[in-house]
Structure 1
């Protein structure tokens, strides 16, 4: 009687910082940052939780790597998600860069919170920053001005998306308590505050664009660069 040939077990990919971060980003969309734990990631990867500590000492180190992976995906994504050529006017570069950043953050539940306070683990961001700064200096900015201009637009975009995801954790999902009509009824004694709800909690694309334009025009007026 012939023995059955032994089946080769499926090849398990090696556990690396990259595979852990990719798994974490996938789980992030399912439960958000609060529910993302090393134990849950280990279970998804079918390993014991201590195995992850060879790569990440704590959750913050993991979040740093997640933010770095998000940046890598943004920087290597479609052309329209990243700044145009350095020969383009500086306003256009700022607009394209921050539109791309917002799209990248909105691609993940709590994406903006992952970015907040994170320390990138690679050097890809330095390459992009170098190109931005060189282009701004060529447009007439001094280095401190260029740094502040980049940091201010980045902070605006990051803060905007944090607030946006507080209402819409992911596109098409609205948190309870942010119904504009219900809010208007509750604040009926304060008609201006009630009417403001339409502008605060709806039309986020238009709101973002106008706010970004305000910031950029403020930079131009402050530094006299047009």
Structure 2
């Protein structure tokens, strides 16, 4: 990659994506433009098109990196209940940290339904540990995703108490409901 005459260092996709996410956090999707991004990166706007072909492609790049930015639970032998709780908390935290990105992703079902992203892979792994049959993984994952997403929508639209501790307790109750629902009687 050639270095920009203005900045002296080549652009990376990681730098482009993280700067675009920051601009989205500050001004929403509508606050992100190729010109603003180029100004933030101290490059000519045309330089961006060597890396992403359009704003839509840029948004796709940012969305692809969303799961990578989450602290997904590793396959470390912890009980599936702990891993599921960690995954739900990571998803919830990420949605609250990046509401514009989260809203964009959920307004574009083709992004959410891409089962190749790390979030789905981790969820499927955890569901297998919980004993969910292979033929039920997609349906169960979709239900859990809808449940947690609904909670986040409810929360971000002001339908909950303003007290963060109360919201945390309510989210914890939601996770407990999920875990109990997946627990198979012995």
- State the TM-score, normalized to the length of structure 1: 0.62
Identify the residue that residue 61 of structure 1 maps to in structure 2.
57
1:13 is paired with a residue whose SS is coil
Matches of residues 150-189 of structure 1 in structure 2 within 5 Å? 150-167=141-158
Structure 1 gap segments, 5+ residues each = 1-8, 75-80, 168-196
CA contact (8 A) 1:72 1:124 kept: no
Does 2:12 correspond to 1:12?
no
Measure the CA separation in 1 of the matches of 2:185 and 2:45: 53
Aligned 1:99-114 pairs, distance under 5 A: 99-114=89-104
Counterpart among 70, 73, 82 of residue 92 in structure 1: 82
Q: Which residue of 1 aligns with 2:111?
A: 119
Contact 2:7 2:42 in 1 (8 A): no
After TM superposition, give the deviation of residue 62 of structure 1 in Å.
Answer: 1.4
TM-score (norm. length: structure 2): 0.73
- Aligned counterpart, 1:27: 23
Distance in 2, Cα, partners of 1:73 & 1:158: 18
**What secondary structure, in the 3-state scheme, does the structure 1 residue paired with 2:127 have?**
helix
In structure 1, what is the Cα distance between the partners aligned to 2:76 and 2:130?
10
Shift of 1:64: 1.8
CA RMSD of aligned residues (A): 3.1
1:141-156 matches, within 5 Å, as 141-156=132-147
Distance 1:205 1:111, change over 3 A: farther
Would you say how many aligned residue pairs link Structure 1 and Structure 2?
175
Structure 1 runs (4+) deviating above 6 angstroms are none
Q: Distance in 2 between matches of 1:11 and 1:34?
A: 26
Deviation string 1:60-111 (CA, Å, 9 cap, x unpaired) is: 321221122232222xxxxxx4325453332222111110111122222424
Contact 1:110 1:162 in 2 (8 A): no
Distance 1:156 1:12 in 2: 47
| Residue pairs, 1:171-210, within 5 angstroms | 200-202=160-162, 203-210=166-173
CA contact (8 A) 2:63 2:105 kept: yes
Work out the CA distance in 1 between the residues paired with 2:10 and 2:146. 37
Any conservation in 2 of the 1:141–1:225 contact (CA below 8 Å)? Answer: no
Q: Hey, what's the Cα distance between the residues in 1 that align with 2:67 and 2:125?
A: 20
| Equivalent in the alignment of 1:218 | 181
